[in-house]
Amino acid sequence: MTLNWKTGGLALGLVFFLAVLLVKPIGVSTQFVILDGILWNAVDGSVVTQADDGSYTSTNAYLAKSGGKYAKNVANPLNYSFVFVVAMVVGGAISAFMRGGIGAQERQMPAIWRANFGDSQMKRNAAVFVAGFVVLYGARLAGGCTSGHMMSGMMQTSLSGYIFALGAFAAAVPTALILFRKEA
Amino acid sequence: MSSILLALIIGGAFGAVLDRVGAANPTLIGKMLNLSNLHLMKAILLAIGTGSVLMFGGQMLGLVDVAHMSVKAAYIGVFAGGLLLGFGWALSGYCPGTSLVGAAAGRKDALVFIAGGLLGAAAYMATYPAVTHSGLLDKIAGGKVTLGTVPDAKYEGLTALPGDLLGIALGLAFIVVAFILPERITQKQPAAATV
């Protein structure tokens, strides 16, 4: 089932090392913006535009920032960072399938939630939707998430990684202590 | 094209390892964060330490390109965003990467998280000019800095300490902490006995 922490931690560390050895540090949350941009640009083709010199820009200030690098990735989804995240989904699916899946109950909601808040799907979905919103808003405000800031950042001894981890655990631990008093 | 191949291999491996280590299982995240089962914390600390020792060791031996480092800027919003992410991470058990892997494993609530996440990211895109104006994104302590000064890196050091040696030392410290951290901190709840 779940790997023991020594094997799992070593494997995870090797993947983070492999990424920085071969390409660049791992990061995920930017790709939520890129997917938003792709969807938005599909509906309204004027969101991302290419200038005569080949550079990209956007009517959205965030997509246009840093010389339009997000706008460029929106226009060309077949880039390293976006394909990386798509590959994560494929890797996760294959891994879960090979270990026999997670079972019908877990598909609906995790055991720890059920133990503390009952099995209302509505309640779980409402909480998780709000959480998703807050997490991605926070990750974009911070400029990275658990992967980019906490793991890749602290691995590189970057100051911002430590600041982020401090903030994340300062909020996460009290929240979990209050919410999850019963163990699954 | 080779960069796409690398994305498929490294991304695929990352997704698989997140699944196997249990990081995409909200129950294990919840138990880590309420301090009742720190196995996942130990794995995360060991991973950061391992990555750090290998990367900086590789740099010193000339095997790892220093230019591959990518250090993010430090500003107040990093802490504020960390607080927001931490709250949502605890509430749901998902962060951006693990929600994708959780959904891949068949977790329906992870799909709801992703939907909320896409909306949250869009909200940031919409409010980015106001956030910039607020000063939350103004650099502190030099912005893109490492704790020591890494030889040949394009980033400044917060201190003049040799960044590669410091990286190895901190990496080893992470590994030591992973081993000495207790398996649980909070006391067992009575409810656990019945499950």
pLDDT tens, position by position, B50-109: 999 999 999 999 999 999 999 999 999 999 999 999 999 999 999 999 999 999 999 999
| Structural domain includes residue A85 | yes
User: What pLDDT does residue B122 have?
Assistant: 97
User: What pLDDT does residue B189 have?
Assistant: 59
Distance from CA of A1 to the nearest CA of B (A): 7
Residues above pLDDT 70, as percent of chain A: 99
Nearest CA among B33, B22, B28 for reference residue A9: B22
Residue B42 has pLDDT above 50, yes or no: yes
Average pLDDT, whole number, for chain B? 94
| Structural domain includes residue A47 | yes
Kindly state whether residues A148 and A176 are assigned to the same domain.
yes
Reported as a single tens digit per residue, the pLDDT across A102-120 is 999 999 999 999 999 999 9
Residue B1 has pLDDT above 60, yes or no: no
The pLDDT of B119-129, averaged and rounded, is: 97
ipTM tops the 0.90 cut: yes
Give the domain-ending residue among A101, A117, A150: A101
Residue B174 belongs to what H/E stretch? helix B163-180
Residue B194 has pLDDT above 60, yes or no: no
Kindly state whether residues A61 and A125 are assigned to the same domain.
no
Kindly state whether residues A111 and A181 are assigned to the same domain.
yes
User: What pLDDT does residue A2 have?
Assistant: 87
Kindly state whether residues A113 and A172 are assigned to the same domain.
yes
- For helices A30-43 and B108-134, the axis angle rounded to 10 degrees is 90
Residue A1 has pLDDT above 90, yes or no: no
A interface test, pick of B5, B8, B41, B72 with most A CB neighbours within 10 Å = B72
* pLDDT tier for residue A5 given thresholds of 50, 70 and 90: very high
Residue B100's SS3 state is helix
CB contact under 8 A, A164 and B122: no
B interface test, pick of A35, A123, A160, A162 with most B CB neighbours within 10 Å = A160
User: What pLDDT does residue B193 have?
Assistant: 47
Kindly state whether residues A88 and A111 are assigned to the same domain.
no
Kindly state whether residues A129 and A148 are assigned to the same domain.
yes
Hey, where are the domains in chain B? 2-183
| Structural domain includes residue A13 | no
Kindly state whether residues A179 and A113 are assigned to the same domain.
yes
Residue B151's SS3 state is coil
The pLDDT of A19-48, averaged and rounded, is: 95
Kindly state whether residues A173 and A135 are assigned to the same domain.
yes
User: What pLDDT does residue B195 have?
Assistant: 44
Give the domain-ending residue among A51, A85, A101: A101
| Three-state helix/strand/coil letters over chain A | CCCCHHHHHHHHHHHHHHHHHHCCCCCCCHHHHHHHHHHHHHHCCCCEEECCCCCEEECCHHHHHHHHHHHHHHHCCCCHHHHHHHHHHHHHHHHHHHCCCCCHHHHHCCHHHHHHHCCCHHHHHHHHHHHHHHHHHHHHHHCCCHHHHHHHHHHCCEHHHHHHHHHHHHHHHHHHHHHCCCCC
The pLDDT of B161-167, averaged and rounded, is: 96
Kindly state whether residues A81 and A44 are assigned to the same domain.
yes
Kindly state whether residues A96 and A118 are assigned to the same domain.
no
CB contact under 8 A, A131 and B116: yes
Kindly state whether residues A116 and A176 are assigned to the same domain.
yes
Residue B157 has pLDDT above 50, yes or no: yes
The pLDDT of B29-34, averaged and rounded, is: 96
Kindly state whether residues A170 and A97 are assigned to the same domain.
no
Give the domain-ending residue among A70, A101, A132: A101
What is the domain range of residue A81? 28-101
